[in-house]
Structure 1
Amino acid sequence: MNMHVNTIEAFLEALVKELEVPDHRYEQAEKSYSSLGEWLHRPESTVRRYDPQVYCQGSFRLGTAIRPHTEAEEYDVDSVVELRLLTKRDKTQQELKVMLGIEITAYHDARAMVKPVREGNRCWILDYADGAQFHMDVVPAVPNTEQQRILLEARMLDTRWASTAISITDRRVPNYRILSEDWPRSNPKGYSNWFASRQAMVFERRKRAILETMRRESVRASVEDLPDFKVKTPLQSAIMILKRHRDNMFARNLDLRPISIIITTLAAHSYENQDTISGALFAILDRMDQFIVYDGRKHIITNPTDPFENFADKWEKEPQKAEAFFDWLRQARADFQAAAQAGTFQQMADALNPRMGYALSRRAVDRLTGGSRLLRAATGASAGGAGTVSAPSFANADRRPTKPQGYA
């Protein structure tokens, strides 16, 4: 069978438009953590002398955040407060978290925020007003560059991402209340830099294209004037689509839902600078299980910026999570293959409705057809342009993956 390539691309683009976080949400998130940073640097701040740096992490930083299903749900904005002049020799994890918690509570009170500050295992949680529709998780951290580089050099491993390594707090670990060099590790800046490296060529090309369009429309702008969140690559778009597919497939069993960092990491490894969403999506679905190592006992999905961290570490004790991932991958392959083989936008929506959601698929079709029944029923060639390619054909997801190639 053939896939009407222009049509499936148009349909996936419409899906992404419906999933995209509005620009004002990104601006709102940036203002929120910038405001907290200013508060922590005010003259009366009890942590100012430690040079606190507040920055975003997670899907908002990577540009892969998706809209909540409904207006009643909230955006989860993840941030870090890194106290750059503090070390693990100065404070326990608990002392650091309590110290920062006092400042966050003071910030909450000074801004007259109604909902109380909440404590998570690793973070403090600021709940904004209902109209804002988001909450911010604030993770306390200290630099971990020196220790991380020593660990990596001892094993003759890549140290290129060590300069941004941090240690974070977690009240579940045994040494939470005692002075120790052994803290949970993280590296959100390093990970986002690695992720950016996987799409750098396409990202820069798209950014230049946007700027050129703006100039043709007599809008003066430079590279520095265009925020990264205004540029969407096929890799980011494909991840957004896969995350929503995952969310709906596991809506009734959230504990088994494959975590976003696994989907994002495997997708980034699989991406080969495709210029279209459909090209990126089908390459990712075809290749992503190749980047999982199975050593005969456990599955390994290595953090590309910290080879000591296995994103699939819970799969060993909870094998049902491994089963769930491969079940999801098989289902995603089947669903998007069926959509690719469909001849009309409506048939594509019908193929994806069970996992992408009826309302989302309908809005995507309406975006393309303006609600016209005639266009909904039009063939792919007439609705989306001529030209066909072979429809993707995926093998069943391999439950015993081999060692991956091409780790960056």
Structure 2
Amino acid sequence: MNIHLNTIEAFLEALVRELEVPDHRYEQAEKSYSSLGEWLHRPESTVRLYDPQVYCQGSFRLGTAIRPHTEAEEYDVDSIVELRLLSKRTKTQEELKAMLGDEIKAYHKARAMVKPVREGNRCWVLDYADGAQFHMDVVPAVPNPDQQRSLLVARMLDTRWASTAISITDRREPNYRELSENWPRSNPKGYSDWFASRQSVVFERRKREILESMRKQSVQASVEDLPDFKVKTPLQSAIMILKRHRDNMFATQLVLRPISIIITTLAAHSYENQDTISGALFAILDRMDQFIVHDGRKYIIANPTDPFENFADKWEKEPQKAEAFFGWLRRARADFYAAAQAGKFQEMANALNPGMGYALSMRAIDRLTGGSRLLRAATGASATAAGTTGAPSFANADRRPTKPQGYA
């Protein structure tokens, strides 16, 4: 083991390796989408004529999913079933959800799944066998690009993501049982495309580097042969670390836990193509609150693909959620600053144990040292060598920028 690897960058890389979802879990999820899609397209399907498309959304799509704390916990895999030839003019939300629900229940029975199908407010939930360690939320949807584009054009806002906009069902909506054009809106494909645009330079470079490394090992592969989940950028890695830190801080206060879409959105806005995890992490911690708008009455964290949606909408009625977010950000800055100042693996772990968890930090150290106590206590290079520009520092001022909704 080369002692010069004992840097904050090496430690963060080891943390990410411990947090990463194993490849077989991504492959397992993809097989589940494909299997459900094939079922919905079978000759007897009652929704086949509507051209159903099943695809992933959320952290699995973005590559920011993290392992559960224990093997007893499950992965939450979010999916959409978009009926591309169905319109809101011909079905109510309730009718669409019930129609898809019948097919999902039939799929459940045909696959001899044991745990019953559950209904959520927006989705149907398929619980897989215990060994699979995941459940899949299936959200019914119909296309909504025209209405979304009209809304954006009327406000002279960015329309580049509108082509993939969808409308989804939600039984809490007052018009759930009525024919209406006013359905809840979503755009997971658009958000994924926006997120990809924030890291495209580094992502493409890393993908080429992986392919070149494979070729040097006489493994012939093309860009198409390499799944996106096998490429990890500093932005994705930093988000994974921050999500686990958030999870631990709010382990006993789940109701106050900042939601992942807020952390992910602010991190992506803050990222500036840093090549290292440490560079990305400290840039995000320093800048992420600059992308929170305060209009004098409420906080706004706009969905970049639908500026009418405010990810911080609950903060107005529940100000403790805003306080929890800013409290978490202060704590994360302090914890990672302390880790960046450490010169030894054990000191880094000590700084991050409360936020990242003792077991995770120790596994990261063991990954770097092979379990050697001597290397664990050895002094390494400074954080500057890891790609940070000197010691990170964070402004303490309460920054409330006034960027308009819809910023890119």
TM-score by length of 2: 0.97
The answer on 1:262 being equivalent to 2:248 is no
Structure 1 residue matching 2:76: 3-state secondary structure? strand
> Following the alignment from structure 1 to structure 2, what is the Cα–Cα distance between the partners of residues 7 and 336?
13
Distance 1:290 1:387 in 2: 23
Rounded Cα–Cα distance in structure 2 between residues aligned with 1:110 and 1:308: 41
CA distance in 1, matches of 2:128, 2:42: 21
1:389 to partner: Cα distance: 4.9
Give the whole-Å Cα distance in 2 for the aligned partners of 1:382 and 1:282. 15
**AA at the equivalent of 1:326:** F
Deviation for aligned residue 1:318: 0.3
Correspondence for 1:63: 63
Q: For residue 330 of structure 1, what is the amino acid of its counterpart?
A: R
The alignment partner of 2:180 has SS state of: coil
Q: Is the 8 Å Cα contact of residues 289 and 397 (structure 1) preserved in structure 2? A: no
Report the CA distance shift for 1:385/1:292 in structure 2 as closer, same or farther (over 3 A). Answer: closer
Corresponding residue for residue 150 of structure 1? 150
- Cα distance change on mapping 1:132 and 1:319 into 2, 3 Å: same
Backbone CA RMSD of aligned residues: 1.7
- Residue 83 of structure 1: aligned partner: 83
Does the CA contact (< 8 Å) of 1:201 and 1:273 recur in 2? Answer: yes
Instruction: Give the deviation of 1:388 after TM superposition.
Output: 8.3
Q: Which amino acid aligns with 1:337?
A: Y
Offset from partner CA, 1:132-190 (integer Å, 9 cap, x none): 00000000000000110111111111110000000000000100011110000000000
Aligned residue runs from structure 1 range 35-50, under 5 A: 35-50=35-50
**What is the distance in 2 between the residues matched to 1:196 and 1:387?**
23
Identity among equivalent positions (%) equals: 87
Deviations 1:285-315 (A, max 9, x none): 0000000000110000000000100000000
Structure 1 segment 9-408 matched on structure 2, within 5 A: 9-381=9-381, 389-396=389-396, 398=398, 401-404=400-403, 407-408=407-408
Which amino acid in structure 2 is aligned with residue 147 of structure 1? Q
Q: Distance in 1 between matches of 2:214 and 2:26?
A: 20
**1:383-407 deviations in whole A, cap 9, x for unaligned?**
9979985210112262x51124993
Which amino acid in 1 is paired with 2:283? A
Amino acid at match of 1:311: F
Tell me how far apart the structure 2 counterparts of residues 158 and 354 of structure 1 sit (CA, whole Å).
42
**Superposed displacement of residue 281, structure 1:** 0.1
| Number of equivalenced pairs | 404
Against the structure 1 CA distance between its residues 404 and 341, is the aligned structure 2 distance closer, same or farther, given a 3 Å change threshold? farther
Counterpart-to-counterpart distance in 2, 1:323 and 1:7: 33
Residue 14 of structure 1 contacts residue 365 of structure 1 at CA under 8 Å; is this kept in 2? Answer: yes
**Secondary structure, aligned partner of 1:242:** helix
Q: CA deviation at 1:197?
A: 0.1
- Structure 2 unaligned blocks of 5 or more: none
CA shift digits 1:92-121 (9 cap, x unpaired): 000000000000000000000000000000
